[in-house]
Chain A
Amino acid sequence: MVGLPLLVAVPLGLAFCLPILGLASKRAVAYVPVLASLFNLVVSISLIPQALEKPVVAYMGGFSPPFGITLYAGPVGLFMSTLVALAGLVVSVYALVYIDKGPTVKYHTLFLLLLIGATGMVLTGDIFNLFVFFEILTISSYALVAYFGDRGGLEAAAKYLVLGAAGSGLMLLGIGLLYGLTGTLNMADIAARIGSVPPVSAFVSLALIVVGLGIEGAVFPLNGWLPDAHSSAPSTISAILSGIAIEVGLYGVVRVVFTVFGASNILLFLVILAVLTLLVGEICAFAQKNIKRMLAYSSIGQIGLILFAVAVASSASIAGGLFQLLSHTLSKVVLFLAAGYMIHRSGSTEISSLEGMGSRMPLTSFAFAVAAFSLVGLPPFAGFPSKFLIVRAAVAEQGVIFLVLIGLVLFGTVIEGAYFFRVIQALFFKKKENKPERHDAPALALVPIFLVVVIIVAIGVWPDAITGLLDSAASELLERAEYIRSVLG
């Protein structure tokens, strides 16, 4: 009970202290995000066994719901917050060596705020609090996209900001409407009362909130900002935006649709949107020559796949979708971090300039290859069991439409394989004329990358280690009555 508020409070307190600490020592500031995410990782994992039996609910300030803010840590929330903390830990260790110029104190402060926004969003049980954490997440990511201050970064940040701010305005409008209809902001209380609300008003409110969150979740057609932002940001920020921020946006959409509104009648619409997102993302990724843009489009495709699996809304498919979310986060963090030092060494983001990197940076290229294979879905990596679960769950659904859609999804996966193998080919099988000397990424950057590579292989070999958590997460999303009862008592 004590641990849950600390997940938000400790990093937030540290983030406020960072600018002051920065006056004393710029070097020390870089270690604070490492400590904060390590703390969050340990606390999140230690809460999981408790949450599997009964969700952990904390009432802020001792106010009983529906007054005051509740934090709700069920299996979904803790799964996501563990993932956020793990990705945050990996990226912040990598950033110790990678972020060496520019306003580093501001970078680390904003990075920590971004992690807090993500953690808070997945743990909160109050819809306005969800909005506030969402804003913390997005405002810090707007600023971080423009970190280098170059033309591309500024342009991408401006696009992202205008789109994101308009979306969050609409989301707030939806929340205001929801408050006017139900008279409460507590998600469980809203869920209990939404049945007696006029359906048209509830739908308008749902649409506004989903649009606001969908912009961050990069659901087609709201994803125009993503390739620019992800490719112009520093590689560490691309990794965290791609591995954490869009997943958290998607979590928001799923939580609102499943738990708050219980809107099972828009799920087919979401499934079709998801397949469109996947096809657009994969086809655009295939056409890219810039490696970071390719990875960014691939994130859009993966988001489509995750949303597809979750919106099919059977217990097995939601578990598969969350599994895919895990394997996407792990793979994309490795891909962006490995690509970061490859770009640093070759001086160009073009895929053609990465030829021969397999002999020049063998360890980095090896990690890149493992993550790419996992994302495509080859055994024995984490991407294989997740994609397998999704396909099996979708085929088990009745109806020809799911067969057609799963066919399109598999077609998207084939395209994904094609463009990743093209990069692998450039890395390992194309030799440069003059042999450059071996110059791998620094050890402090390789350690976190290989930590994730080990996790990818471990989960790929023993998927049973996490399926228990994923199954109870799926049942948390499907059983609204249970959610309402565990908060309101």
Chain B
Amino acid sequence: MSFLHNYIYYIGAAGLVLIGLLIILAKHHLIKVIIGLSILDTGVNLFLIAVGYIKDGTAPIFSRPDLDPGRMVDPVPQALVLTSIVIGVAILALALGLAVKLHREFGHLDLRKIKELKW
């Protein structure tokens, strides 16, 4: 059980990434694909947080002498995740905007039938 206990966040992150990839690859509905992208993004964010996480850790405030520097959570991945969430929102908004326009043009969002461009 200690393996599960130590690596539960990594397992969860890998699971979310794989679920997201599976949805992107297997689904034909554009909204579902966008949901897949969102799940993939969440998995990546969880992974980033897990990289810097320490169990029962504290915030990295060096001006407080009662906090042990060895038990402080790494703040860099959290800053990265903040940026990554903002980027994710931009992509999600643009993707949904495109989906609205596509639905107006084609009347459906079935990716198997949206293929006017060919190799």
Verify if A132 is at the interface (C-beta below 8 Å from B): yes
* Count of inter-chain pairs, beta carbons less than 8 A: 94
User: Which of B30, B40, B87 is A158 in contact with, Cβ under 8 Å?
Assistant: B30
Q: Given A157-B98, A162-B33, A169-B20, A176 and B44 touching (CB < 8 A)?
A: yes
Verify if B73 is at the interface (C-beta below 8 Å from A): no
A139 CB contacts on chain B under 8 angstroms = 87, 90-91, 94
Main secondary structure of the interface of A (DSSP, over half): helix
Chain A 106-122 per-residue mask, 1 if CB under 8 angstroms from chain B, else 0: 00000000000000000
Q: Does B105 contact A151, Cβ atoms closer than 8 Å?
A: yes
B98 CB contacts on chain A under 8 angstroms = 142, 146, 154, 157-158, 161
Q: Does A155 contact B37, Cβ atoms closer than 8 Å?
A: no
Cβ < 8 Å to B, chain A residues 181-200: 185
Q: Does B76 contact A185, Cβ atoms closer than 8 Å?
A: yes
Verify if B84 is at the interface (C-beta below 8 Å from A): yes
Chain A residue nearest in CB terms to B105: A151
Main secondary structure of the interface of B (DSSP, over half): helix
A120 to B64, CA, bound (A): 38
Q: Does A135 contact B87, Cβ atoms closer than 8 Å?
A: yes
Chain A residue nearest in CB terms to B87: A135
Spot the interface stretch: A15-23, A78-86, A224-232: A224-232
5 contacts between A and B (CB under 8 A): A132-B87, A155-B114, A166-B37, A175-B80, A180-B51
B residues adjacent to A (C-beta < 8 A) = 17, 20-21, 24, 30, 33-34, 37, 40-41, 43-44, 47-48, 51, 76-77, 80, 83-84, 87, 90-91, 94-95, 98-99, 101-102, 105-106, 114-117, 119
Instruction: Other than A173-B47, A176-B48, give 11 A-B pairs with Cβ distance below 8 A.
Output: A128-B83, A135-B90, A151-B106, A151-B116, A158-B114, A161-B98, A165-B91, A166-B37, A169-B41, A172-B48, A177-B47
Q: Does A176 contact B80, Cβ atoms closer than 8 Å?
A: yes
Q: Does B95 contact A161, Cβ atoms closer than 8 Å?
A: yes
B24 CB contacts on chain A under 8 angstroms = 162, 166
User: Which of A143, A150, A173 is B94 in contact with, Cβ under 8 Å?
Assistant: A143
B116 CB contacts on chain A under 8 angstroms = 151-152, 155
Cβ < 8 Å to B, chain A residues 123-179: 128, 132, 135, 139, 142-143, 146, 149-152, 154-158, 161-162, 165-166, 168-169, 172-173, 175-177, 179
| B109–chain A nearest beta-carbon distance, Å | 9
A232 to B119, CA, bound (A): 13
Verify if A284 is at the interface (C-beta below 8 Å from B): yes
- Top 7 nearest A-B pairs (CB, nearest first) are A180-B51, A176-B48, A228-B117, A169-B40, A135-B87, A165-B91, A172-B44
Chain A 66-102 per-residue mask, 1 if CB under 8 angstroms from chain B, else 0: 0000000000000000000000000000000000000
A179 CB contacts on chain B under 8 angstroms = 48, 51, 76-77, 80
| A284–chain B nearest beta-carbon distance, Å | 6
Interface centre among A135, A143, A152, A231, by most chain B C-beta atoms within 10 angstroms, is A135
A149 to B99, CA, bound (A): 12
A152 to B99, CA, bound (A): 13
| A172–chain B nearest beta-carbon distance, Å | 5
A143 to B20, CA, bound (A): 23
A284 CB contacts on chain B under 8 angstroms = 119
A284 to B118, CA, bound (A): 11
Q: Does B99 contact A173, Cβ atoms closer than 8 Å?
A: no
| B106–chain A nearest beta-carbon distance, Å | 7
Cβ < 8 Å to B, chain A residues 224-245: 227-228, 231-232
B47 CB contacts on chain A under 8 angstroms = 173, 176-177
A418 to B87, CA, bound (A): 43
Q: Does A128 contact B119, Cβ atoms closer than 8 Å?
A: no
Q: Does B94 contact A155, Cβ atoms closer than 8 Å?
A: no
Q: Does B117 contact A165, Cβ atoms closer than 8 Å?
A: no
Q: Does A165 contact B80, Cβ atoms closer than 8 Å?
A: no
Q: Given A156-B117, A166-B24, A180-B51, A172 and B37 touching (CB < 8 A)?
A: no
A34 to B41, CA, bound (A): 36
B77 CB contacts on chain A under 8 angstroms = 176, 179
A150 to B115, CA, bound (A): 13
User: Which of B21, B51, B119 is A166 in contact with, Cβ under 8 Å?
Assistant: B21
A131 to B107, CA, bound (A): 35
Q: Does B41 contact A154, Cβ atoms closer than 8 Å?
A: no
Q: Does B102 contact A158, Cβ atoms closer than 8 Å?
A: yes
Q: Does A142 contact B94, Cβ atoms closer than 8 Å?
A: yes
B106 CB contacts on chain A under 8 angstroms = 151
A177 CB contacts on chain B under 8 angstroms = 47, 51
| B25–chain A nearest beta-carbon distance, Å | 9
A156 CB contacts on chain B under 8 angstroms = 117
B90 CB contacts on chain A under 8 angstroms = 135, 139
Chain B residue nearest in CB terms to A280: B119
B102 CB contacts on chain A under 8 angstroms = 154-155, 158
| B45–chain A nearest beta-carbon distance, Å | 8
A166 CB contacts on chain B under 8 angstroms = 21, 24, 37, 40
A128 CB contacts on chain B under 8 angstroms = 80, 83
Q: Does B99 contact A158, Cβ atoms closer than 8 Å?
A: yes
